[in-house]
Structure 1
Amino acid sequence: MFRPFYYEKNKKTGKKNLMRHMRQNIPTWNSSIAYWGGDRVIYNGKTYEAKWWTQGDIPGKPVQHEWDTPWKAVGQSTAPTEPEPEEPTPIVDLADVPEPVPKENILYPDYSGVDVGQGIQWPKAVFAPYVDATGWPPLTFANLANELMIPYFNLGFIVAENDSSYLPTWGTYYAAGDGPLNEQIKLIREMGGDVSVSFGGLSNVPIHVTAPNANILKEQYKAFIKAYGLTRVDFDIEGQWLSDTPSLKRNSEALKLLQDELIDEGYPLEIWFTLPVLPSGLTPLGIDVLRYALDEDVTINGVNIMTMDYGEAVAPNPENNMGDYGIAAAESLLNQLKFIYADYGMTLSDEELYSMIGMTPMIGMNDITTEVFYQEDARETLDYANNKNLGMLSMWSLNRDKECPGGETNYVSITCSSVLQKPYEFSKIFNEYNDLRNFDPDLIGPPEEMNEIPDIVDLTDVTYAEWSPTQIYVAGDRVIYNDNIYEAKWWTQGDNPGQPVKNEWDTPWSPVITDIEIPSIMDEELPFLEELIDTETDEVEILPQTYPEWSAKQIYVAGDRVEYEGKIFEAKWWTQGDDPSAVVKYPWESPWERIG
């Protein structure tokens, strides 16, 4: 039988190289076929090799940068011949790569303002959904704790500031020390939960690619991990970065240095890898990622597979089969891990290997839109995890775990699932996998914003437009819906103002109270109300209040009030460093609203 891949010992390094027999009968590129990194095609008489997963991207299309295309030219095509193996050709060169010269004046982020508490030792089996930490508006996951009872979360992604910098950032949007969800991290830890942070991802540039050497990379990792008190981190390697051998080897060297130092310091840290997968298992490039780590003697605590976006060629007829394909991928990974570890002289039991496996489906519609992960697929995956005692269940993402405003859609969204569902239905299914005995949201009081008093306004001679599902609204916009007035809390389109929700943060709209009568619940349930009510006239007198001075270094969230230059301002959304008195053309250009 023809075996396209095998391993051969490198005489120079003594390490094993992944080898591939080359065939000459390379298929012609087809726009309807999904290709993975390493696949080769012929297009316009030339041979191209895929650098990462792709479908429909034309080989040879002119681009400004090499990373703008998933294809690289590897030569002219040749006439098809009998499929007999030629001399073996290395897929990657595992010879020693010269260490880049360290740059002078190395900079590290300022973590002095990070106050998020300390992480804990994670259970052996968890459900930890991914949260897009740079999504807008920020998903306040800890505020959902009373409803969802989810203790653990994966936050993504930490990447380089740009392609020529090795400073870590949150998705390039925020400095590493200014995480948009830092308050949420602290809250969830106070309840008994924790977060893991993922480095890398498909978009942007991982810091292991831009770091000049393993020592600098190790220091960047260590500084971030210590600042955020992390006891578990994840390295998401996908796309073009799967084939960037020098950076992957540099990353493995840095992780070994990091592990050794932290062990000496008595600091616990789990290291996971997140990799793309097929129902048949990891791709050869994914296997390489693990081998590079094991070559450096890195302890791998887990391998999380992205059970999504397989492609019709390897996962035909995906309707109602996505759960089955994910389980097939996990079983294939189990067998691959057996062989990989055996090559390094280690024999692990099935129980040990299952505890190292994580599964992350993309809930609802996948990027390959014929692949849809339904609630029944989630239940099937949960049953499998329970039977095998998997190390982790996850999903992409908590931000998407709700129905789109229009219900079921034929497009993929980053904020909803595109399928019919109840709010956070996938999370509630998967959360049955968690042990909640040490998790108590009641340890923390309700978020401050829950204690705010709705505006009471005089609507004499004031009119507002009727709400429209196609209109875009920004914070402060007011509309009429079913004879009630609502005010937008942040950017929104298509979200029904009158839609019943359990928590106020589940809707971008807040009702505007137009009746001067004060609701009776205020007397008993809102003792902090600093208002005097004349019961004879129903007039409300506002007592003078004082607020802290605005600070450019302080993080503020919606509802926070500050004093600045003798005036009082209220934050409309998350902000840091934005001058409250700055002159803007439109109100949505400033996160602040003057209220006094």
Structure 2
Amino acid sequence: MRWSRLTKGLVATALPVAAVAMGINATASASASSQAANAFPAHYAAPYLELSSGTAGDMAADMKATGLKDYTLAFLIPKSGCTPQWEAGNSALGAFTSQVSTLKAAGGNVIISFGGAEGGELAQTCTSVSSLTAAYASVVDTYGITRLDFDIEGGTLGNTAANTRRNQALAALQAQNPNVEVDYTLAVDPSGLESDTLNLLKDAKSKGVKVNLVNIMTMDFGDGENALNDALSAAKGTATQLASLYGISTAQAYARIGLTPIAGKNDDNENFTQANATTLETFAAANGVQELSFWEVDSYDKGTGYAYSRIFNKITDGTTTPPTTPPPSGGSTSYEAEAATLAGGTTVTSCAHCSGGKKLSYLGNGGTATFTNVSEPAAGTYTLTISFMSVGQARTAVVTVNGTAQTVSFPETPDYNTVVTKAVTVTLKAGSGNTIQFSNPSAGAPNLDRIVV
């Protein structure tokens, strides 16, 4: 984390260190390993905290203010060889176990993150796979946790030998302790993951690492676009890539994604506002995103009264759950809304941020849009992902699939530059004879960009 990409393709550079070490408390008053790890919800918020003796108390303060109970602690970096230390303040492994124990006793949990933009990652200095496996296991045991995060970026990402060694060690660790879950935190472009980050995930897959989550850093895009728009675009692109990589549906891919913006001003001077955070949380909940995070609790969110924590924590224990059974199709197909059959006053209008440059307006109040010849190779239950705008208020639409209607609620979206998605479950028959109609007989429905099945 703490990285800046001012233009696409530039090497990441670190932000100024926000927290100054205030001393080291390497001797904990209680052992975190004595307190069993709690299970993470299916969907949750776990913001980053740059851990030091001066910030460790922020977990309790944030939890008291917002109810948020899960945190990502950053960063463990190499001290030397196979020995890690906390980057901020150079605290030894074993520091802050009392704070972790207190959080777990209150029902919370932590993810411990290795790497980051500046300090490197243990696989670069620990050159024995067995010793590296033992080092990772020691972190799990010391803090009594089950989730490890690896923030691999900049020059660390380009170290293919270390990447291979890390993946070998993580596969061995999971073989020894199947409860250990592995997350990768990676840089992203508005279109999705670049080839080097995808190669890292492909290597992890080939080594047998069970990657629980790909957490994308939706920050510092440097393209002059709105920070929220870039974040939403990156999430959609990454979901498509992960669906292809792991042979799963797009809905299931969202369940393996984390989204991590900067809470406030980015290094490219874009500002990720609290309103943006609300929209991103709505998008994440609607699409079944597993994790929302942000950089960073102490330096960015504490001064707001933990507003970003409060907003993102809405996703925790939410009811939006992606399907657990893969749909029988071999992939997703997109249908642009402007290609639908329109009636009752629905019209096609321009839309700079829509996938095809157009959207449907004046849908509802008798106006309809009907998608015909929607094709699937096999009958079954599918995820219908609807890209829409609903500016000014929340709206509903009646979605009728092959004669079976359901009323779908669409949340308010902030402006006409923000396209949001909503996932619903539909039943389709084999072949190209499926019909999907959008309507609302008595009120206005959202503007439609496209549907994906």
The answer on whether the counterparts of 1:159 and 1:199 sit within 8 Å (CA) in structure 2 is yes
Residue 259 of structure 2 aligns with which residue? 359
> Given the alignment, which residue of 298, 309, 316 partners 1:427?
309
Per the TM alignment, residue 423 of structure 1 is displaced from its structure 2 partner at its CA by 1.6
For residues 11-90 of structure 1, the aligned pairs below 5 Å read: 34-36=7-9, 52-53=11-12
Deviations 1:30-65 (CA, angstroms, capped at 9, x unpaired): xx96242xxxxxxxxxxxxx6x3369xxxxxxxxxx
Note if contact 2:50-2:88 (Cα within 8 Å) is conserved in structure 1. Answer: no
Match of 2:173 among 222, 244, 258: 258
* Structure 1 equivalent of residue 420 of structure 2: none
Summarize the alignment of residues 471-490 of structure 1 with structure 2, pairs less than 5 Å apart. none
Task: After TM superposition, give the deviation of residue 427 of structure 1 in Å.
Answer: 1.3
Q: Is the 8 A contact 2:240 2:253 kept in 1?
A: no
2:165 partner letter: R
Query: For residue 296 of structure 2, what is the aligned residue in structure 1?
Result: 397
Residue of structure 2 in register with 1:177 after alignment? 93
Q: Structure 1: which 5+ residue stretches go unaligned?
A: 1-31, 37-49, 56-109, 342-346, 403-414, 417-421, 438-596
Matched, 1:308 2:219: yes
The aligned residue for residue 69 of structure 2 is: 151
Which residue in the other structure is 1:132 paired with?
50
1:374 aligns with 2:273: yes
User: For residues 247-286 of structure 1, what are the structure 2 equivalents within 5 Å?
Assistant: 247-263=162-178, 268-286=179-197
SS of corresponding position for 1:326: helix
Cα displacement (A) at 1:145: 2.3
Contact 1:198 1:233 in 2 (8 A): yes
* Pair 1:113–1:184, CA change in 2 (3 A): closer
Structure 2: gaps spanning 5 or more residues: 15-25, 320-453
Relative to structure 1, the CA distance from residue 384 to residue 178 in structure 2 (aligned partners, 3 Å threshold; closer, same or farther) is: same
Whether the aligned pair in 1 keeps the contact of 2:170 and 2:209 (CA below 8 Å) is yes
* Alignment check: 8 A CA contact 1:140 1:184 kept: no
SS in 1 for 2:39: coil
Runs of 4+ in 1 over 6 A off after TM superposition: 110-113
Residues in 2 aligned to 1:225 and 1:114: alpha-carbon distance in whole angstroms: 16
The structure whose residues are more often strand, as a share, is 2
Once residues 54 and 234 of structure 1 are traced to their aligned partners in structure 2, the CA distance between those partners, rounded to angstroms, is 20
When residues 261 and 337 of structure 1 are mapped into structure 2, their CA distance, relative to the original with a 3 A threshold, is same
Q: Displacement of 1:138 after TM fit?
A: 3.9
Q: How far apart are 1:372 and its partner, in Å? A: 1.1
Distance of 1:189 and 1:290 partners within structure 2? 30
The AA in structure 1 aligned to 2:7 is: A
Q: Deviations over 1:502-531 (max 9, x none)?
A: xxxxxxxxxxxxxxxxxxxxxxxxxxxxxx
* Residue 330 (structure 1) aligned with residue 230 (structure 2): no
Q: Are positions 1:383 and 2:288 aligned together?
A: no
Shift of 1:174: 3.7
Q: Distance in 1 between matches of 2:318 and 2:254?
A: 21
8 A Cα contact 2:13 2:117, kept in partner: no
Q: Aligned residue for 1:121? A: 39
* RCO higher in structure (CA 8 A, sep ≥6): 2
Higher helix share: 2
Number of the residue aligned with 1:215: 130
Q: Is the 8 A contact 2:73 2:113 kept in 1?
A: yes
Larger-Rg structure: 1
Aligned position for 1:7 = none
Q: 1:190 to 1:329 in 2, by over 3 A?
A: same
Shift of 1:232: 1.0
Please say if residues 243 and 252 of structure 2, whose CA atoms lie closer than 8 Å, have aligned partners that are also in contact: no
Find the aligned partners of 1:33 and 1:152 in 2 and give their Cα distance: 31
Measured against aligned partners, the alpha-carbon deviations of 1:407-465 in whole angstroms (never above 9, x if no partner) come to xxxxxxxx75xxxxx4211111111111299xxxxxxxxxxxxxxxxxxxxxxxxxxxx
CA–CA distance in structure 2, aligned partners of residues 206 and 111 of structure 1: 24
Count of matched residue positions in the alignment of Structure 1 and Structure 2: 302
Shift of 1:376: 1.3
Question: What SS does the aligned partner of 1:279 have?
Answer: coil
Paired residues for 1:408-557 under 5 Å: 422-435=304-317
Answer yes or no: is 1:340 the counterpart of 2:245: yes
Quote the residue 1:444 is aligned against.
Answer: none
**Residue 401 to residue 427, structure 1, CA distance change in 2 (3 Å):** farther
Q: Matches of 1:326 and 1:244 in 2, distance apart?
A: 27
> Residue type of the partner of 1:140?
D
Q: 1:168 is aligned with what amino acid?
A: P
CA distance in 2, matches of 1:394, 1:33: 22
Q: Is the 8 A contact 2:28 2:98 kept in 1?
A: no
1:299 and 2:210 aligned: yes
Q: 1:205 aligns with which of 106, 117, 120?
A: 120
Deviation of 1:210 after TM superposition, in Å, equals 0.4
Which residue of 1 is the match for residue 78 of structure 2?
160
CA distance in 1, matches of 2:53, 2:187: 22
Instruction: Report SS of the residue matched to 2:166.
Output: helix
Secondary structure, in 3 states, of the residue corresponding to 1:123?
coil
Contact 2:94 2:142 in 1 (8 A): no
Q: Could you say which residue in structure 2 is the equivalent of 1:235?
A: 150
Distance 1:114-1:261 versus aligned 2 partners, 3 A rule: farther
Q: Indicate how the Cα distance of structure 1 residues 160 and 380 shifts in structure 2: closer, same or farther if over 3 A, else same.
A: same
TM-score for the superposition, normalised by structure 1: 0.48
Alpha-carbon distance change, 427 to 112 in structure 1, aligned in 2, over 3 angstroms? closer
Aligned equivalent of 1:287: 198
Letter in 2 for 1:392: E
Determine helix, strand or coil for the equivalent of 1:281.
coil
* Alpha-carbon displacement from aligned partner over 1:295-349 (angstroms, at most 9, x marks no partner): 101111110000001112xxx2x3xx211211110100011112222xxxxx212
- Give the distance between the partners of 1:195 and 1:335, measured in 2 at CA: 28
Alpha-carbon separation, structure 2, partners of 1:287 and 1:120: 30
- Cα shift at 1:351: 2.5
Task: Report if aligned partners of 1:208, 1:248 keep a CA contact under 8 Å in 2.
Answer: yes
TM-score, normalised to structure 2's length? 0.63
Residue deviations 1:163-192, cap 9 Å, x none?
xx321111163444342x322211111111
Report the CA distance shift for 1:33/1:389 in structure 2 as closer, same or farther (over 3 A). Answer: closer
